[in-house]
Every structure is written in C-alpha cells, then in structure tokens.
Amino acid sequence: MLSWLIPKNFICGLLFAGILKSFNTSSVLHARLLYIILSLFLAIVSLFIKLFAHDAYSKFGFLMPICPDYTCFTSYIIHAIMLSLSIFHFCILALTLSVNSIAFACYQKCWVLKFILYFAILIGCIWFTNILDYYSWIAFGFIIGFIGIQSIYLIEFNYDWSEAWFEYYNESSSKYWATMLIIFSIISWIFNVGMLIITYFISKHFWVSLLNFVVSVSITIFSSSSLCQNGSLLSSSLTMAFATYFLTTAFLINPKDKNYLIIFLDIFLSLISLCYLAFVQPEKHKTNSHSEFKHSKIANFSQKNQEDDFESKEKSKPNTILFQITLASYCFYLGMILTDWELALNDNRHFTAKCLQAMLIMSFYLWTLIAPLLFPDREFSR
C-alpha cells in the first residue's frame, strides 16, 4: 500500500530531481560532501551557541573579554567560527593548486592535519579579536558573490527537476509524471499566494509583494507560452517561489525575534545550490532548449587513476576553484544569517541582501527565457 502511495520513482525524482541518475561516487565528490558537512556541522554548533547564549557566555565568556554581554559574545564567537572556516577553505584551495604532486592528498586526505589547521586558524581569530569588528566588511564581497552563484544554481536545479520529470512523462505511457508536474506547480503557487497573504497582515510592504506577485504570474505565463523556447510551468513556478520567499522574509525579519525558521530555510536553500554545485561539472555545457529534454551532466570523475585526473588542469581544477571559493563564501554567508545580519546595529543589510537575491533570481531566470528571442542567431547553453 505504501509503495503504491509513494512510488520509488517519485521519491528518487523528488529527492534528486532526476539530475543524479549517473550518481557520481568518486572520491572527489566524497571530499566535497565532507567539506559541506564540516561547514554545516560548525553552523549547527554556532546555532546551539545562539540558542544557549546565556550558558555559553557564563562558561566561555573569558574567550571574548571585550564583550560586555551574551549578545556581543554570541556574535563574536559565531563570526570567529565562520571566518576561520572560510580561511580554512581558502587554505585548502591554495594548497591544492600550489603543488600538483600533493594536490590529491591535500584535497581528499589528511583530515587529521586539516582539523589541526582549522583549529589553529580558529584560535588565531579568537586571539586577534579586533579583526572580528570588520567581519561584515570582509564578508561583504564574498556574500554578494555567493548570493549570485546560489541564484544561478537554484535556477539550474529547477530546470533539471522540470526537464527530468517531463522526460519521464514522455518515456512512459502513464500520465503520472504530468500530474506530478502540475501538482508541484500548484503547490508552488499556493506558497506564493500564502506569502502574499502573510505580507498583507504582517508587513507594511504589501504593495511591493503584490507587484512581485504580478510579475511572477506574468513570467510564468510567458515561460509556458509558445513564444518561449526554454521555460516550463514547474521550473517557472519553483523559481518564482524562491524569489517570493527571499523577498517576503526580507520584510518579516524582526530584530526582536530569534528568526529561527527563516535561518533554517535560508540554510536549506543554500545547501540545495551548494550540493548541486558539488555534483555538477560547470565547465560542461548543458542545453538550454527545453525541447531536447536532456538531463544535467554530472561530473564523471574516473574511479581509476584518480590522482592523474585530479592533477588535470582542464578538468578538475576549474571546478575545484569554483566549488572551494563558493564554499568559503557560503561560510561568510552563514556567519551573517546566524547573527541575523547583525540586526543589533539597526541597519538594513538583511533587507538589502534578500531583496537583491530575489531580484537576481527573477532577472537570471527571465534572461534564460528572453535571450534566445533577442539573439536568435546565437547558441545559448546553461
């Protein structure tokens, strides 16, 4: 009965959106997942410090003698953890690129030495406390870069999800996958309407949300029309839901609240884009034509001669550079969202960042729709 209600193909399609059919199990992927898990683990540790700030300050307040209260202590400790983690990822990248003979070992092995390196960097960040006063300025450029990359890969994920399910529908005689495409599109729009209603009752920026809703509906109608070569109902609905989420939460974050749900959702969405980047190989082009219904290309690192593959500049290093820089930028991003964008300073950094992310998602997606129409003689690839 359960397998009838929740078919196996549906679970695989839902969890991986059809993009992991050629699941990459290379040691390079394993290393990337370990780096992500390490970052996520330290983010959870930081979240627990935030949850139990009073107890943490009473026991470990001596680490930050310049902090007069637990709020300052929490902010400084979280920034120290995330700044040291970002520096750690940059150090791993530098070691990987500097000496080809030890690149494989630096990136995929020697985890004991890596932990020692991280804790040494963490102690240095705690010791030189003054550098933490400039955390937001140091992190600014990296966060903007991460927001842009996250927007791109969330759109990529949505495209692959939609194309995979549409291909399942074409390959089978059943209308099951077509039904799932429609159902998830409807769920996305229920979410959009829900966000609009929440904004109406809670925020004074209802007209901005209403304008966003009208634009989202227009883009979705255009993407599903015969004029558009690349769009689809599901990819458009999901993308507009992501944009609506970022815009709505920009209005809803309150300095007096803990905002734990928003923090969790921000981390979850960023993990989707980061894990997607870990699996795919950016230097390989993917078709931008929805009519061909091709799946995303997964990075196929050979199980044999892994050290030779890793040392190949034209294959491994471009992807490694992008992934490590994105991961380091992600840690800066975590440091800001875990401290509520330092809302105690009473500025609008969180508002600006989230509005920028909503605008980037909608702009990038709209570009994928109109670019083939504006330049019909050019070949566009994602």
Q: Using one digit for the tens of pLDDT, what is the confidence trace for 53-95?
A: 888 888 888 888 888 888 888 889 999 999 999 999 999 988 8
Give the model's pLDDT for residue 342.
67
Q: What share of the chain is helix, strand, coil (3-state, %, to 5)?
A: 75, 0, 25
State pLDDT tens for residues 98-116. Answer: 767 677 777 888 888 899 9
Average of per-residue pLDDT across 312-334: 78
Average of per-residue pLDDT across 144-151: 93
Query: Given a cut of 70, is residue 303 above it in pLDDT?
Result: no
Give the model's pLDDT for residue 341.
76
Rounded to two decimals, the pTM is 0.81
Domain map of the chain by residue range? 139-374
Query: Given a cut of 60, is residue 346 above it in pLDDT?
Result: no
Most confident option among 65-74, 142-151, 366-375: 142-151
Phi, psi of 151 (to 5 degrees): -60, -45
Round to whole Å and give the CA distance between 256 and 69. 16
Query: Given a cut of 70, is residue 235 above it in pLDDT?
Result: yes
Give the model's pLDDT for residue 287.
45
Give the model's pLDDT for residue 128.
85
Round to whole Å and give the CA distance between 152 and 92. 25
Token pair 């992190």: residue: 139
Most confident option among 15-24, 70-79, 144-153, 278-287: 144-153
Give the model's pLDDT for residue 104.
73
User: Burial level of 282, CB count in 10 A (0-12/13-18/19+)?
Assistant: middle
Question: Which residues are CB-contacts of 4 (< 8 A; sequence separation ≥ 6)?
Answer: none
Query: Given a cut of 60, is residue 304 above it in pLDDT?
Result: no
Percent of the chain with pLDDT over 90: 33
Query: Given a cut of 90, is residue 22 above it in pLDDT?
Result: no
Give the model's pLDDT for residue 347.
60
Query: Given a cut of 70, is residue 19 above it in pLDDT?
Result: no
Residues forming beta bridges with residue 287, ordered by sequence position: 381
State pLDDT tens for residues 240-298. Answer: 999 999 999 888 876 567 778 888 999 999 999 998 888 875 444 444 444 343 334 33
CA 229, 230, 235, 239 dihedral sign is negative
pLDDT averaged over every residue in the chain? 79
Give the model's pLDDT for residue 309.
46
Q: What b/e string do you get for 173-183 counting C-beta neighbours within 10 Å, with b at 16 or more?
A: eeeebeebbee
Query: Given a cut of 70, is residue 118 above it in pLDDT?
Result: yes
Q: How far is C-alpha 182 from the chain's CA centre?
A: 25
> Is 104 in contact with 311 (CB distance < 8 Å)?
yes
State pLDDT tens for residues 165-215. Answer: 888 888 876 778 888 889 999 999 999 999 999 998 887 888 999 999 999
Of the candidates 222, 269, 226, the one whose C-alpha atom is nearest the C-alpha of residue 249 is 269
Give the model's pLDDT for residue 250.
87
Query: Given a cut of 60, is residue 344 above it in pLDDT?
Result: no
pLDDT tier for residue 340 given thresholds of 50, 70 and 90: confident
